[in-house]
Structure 1
Amino acid sequence: MKTVFHQAALPLIATLAAMPAPALAGDKPAFELALDIDQDGAMDRAMVMQDDGGPADLYIYLATGEERPDPARRPDFVRKALTEDRILDLEAKGKGSLAITSCFGCGASKSTEDTLTVVYRNGTFLVGGYSRNWDWNIQKSDGTVETTIGDCDINYLTGKATASTDLEGGKPVKGKFKPVLLKDWSYEKRPKICSF
């Protein structure tokens, strides 16, 4: 009898293990925000889970109201390992967009700050915008410091972008930038204008 029960329970255990479970008892999201991302008049919820030094996972629940979703509820969207950088903030922006800000170095002599703007259009989560700024100092063998400062700002919804180096103001970048599916987004695939 025990063997039959154990064999019957294995598929259930495997199914439960495969389900995303960001809100298990005792777990607390690194950041959590209520917003109307799908612009249907009902509040939705975005959560980022991140252990110290680990990747950040994004969970989005549609039509949750003002309350935190029940732990048994599956998210409507999950993006594992959205970034390896430390999440600093989630912010609701205009037209239901969600800005996720992260940093590498976070103010150290080598640091970057990225903001990914997520939108929901025609039933799909998209990267609607991306901005990055950097302040990178390299100690040279002669004791001097080489500093690289710059930023980029891409609006994937309008297809326009600006970039700057050193202390110059942002200049328009030639080319057309198209929205990227959030599920396919990777910081490694960011446009070259955002690298230094």
Structure 2
Amino acid sequence: MKSLLFGLALLLPGVALAEPIETRKIITALTGDFNGDGAPDLAMVVETGPTDPMDIHFFLGDNEHHYLKPVEIVREQIGGEWNGYDQPGYENSDAEPELTMLPNGSIKFYLPAPEIGSERTNQTLIIAYRNGAFIVAGFAYDSDDYLQENAASACDYNVLTGKGTSSKQQPDGSTKHKTVSAEGRTIAFREWNAGDAFAACQE
């Protein structure tokens, strides 16, 4: 959902966009201080096509010149579904990404699973701005299969340290917990591969 502050930011003189963006393709946006300099920053999730992964546009506020500077576009890293945004009478999808600003300046990306098939896996990414780049600091998922009993699993781990926890339901209905211990890594958001994260959770 577009915030009032975001709407005002787009109207301010001097706001520069890295490339033209159709406003109807802006799925969601978030303002906050991503780099800790006291200036408001902006992140936007932008639809590329009705069935394609989405782009994320990042802007950092310039305290001296009072404008939003485009700093990075992360291509096709956010899955989701936007039903017929370019058609009359469209309805919002239940699989739109959600952005939340965390107290430490990081951004929480919640990616709900599309309502396709019986197995649903929701993902969460924690994105932080470090040393001039947006990186993936954390990853989590929760999964279940609505046609199977005792099929739930989950994981939450710190990508930077490689430490976390995972859980998986057993056939008898109990839940087995284990510690995730992988190699800590610093991964740029644009280079993120969710498959590596799932593998780390299941080792």
- TM-score of the superposition, structure 2-length normalised? 0.69
CA separation of 1:152 and 1:173: change in aligned 2, threshold 3 A:
same
Deviation digits for residues 59-110 of structure 1 (CA, Å, limit 9, x no counterpart): 1001068xxx88xx7x311111103344330000121100111122349631
CA separation of 1:47 and 1:176: change in aligned 2, threshold 3 A:
same
Find the aligned partners of 1:117 and 1:88 in 2 and give their Cα distance.
13
Superposed displacement of residue 173, structure 1? 1.7
Superposed displacement of residue 111, structure 1? 0.6
Contact 2:101-2:107 at 8 Å conserved across structures: yes
Residue 46 of structure 1 corresponds to which residue in structure 2?
43
Contact 2:78-2:97 at 8 Å conserved across structures: no
Identity across aligned pairs (percent)?
Answer: 27
Deviation digits for residues 105-145 of structure 1 (CA, Å, limit 9, x no counterpart): 3496311100111001121211000101100245xxxxxx4
Report the structure number with the largest CA radius of gyration.
Answer: 1
Which runs of 5 or more residues in structure 2 are unaligned? 1-16, 81-94
Q: Bigger CA drift: 169-178 or 157-166?
A: 169-178
Q: 2:29 aligns with which of 23, 28, 32?
A: 32
2:184 paired with 1:185: no
When the two chains are superposed, the root-mean-square deviation of aligned CA atoms in Å is: 2.9
CA separation of 1:105 and 1:42: change in aligned 2, threshold 3 A:
same
2:87 paired with 1:84: no
Number of residue-to-residue matches in the alignment = 165
Residue 162 of structure 1 corresponds to which residue in structure 2?
165
Find the aligned partners of 2:37 and 2:99 in 1 and give their Cα distance.
20
Residue 105 of structure 2 corresponds to which residue in structure 1?
96
Q: List, as ranges, runs of 4+ consecutive aligned residues in structure 1 with deviation greater than 6 Å.
A: none
Superposed displacement of residue 37, structure 1? 0.8
Find the aligned partners of 2:55 and 2:199 in 1 and give their Cα distance.
25
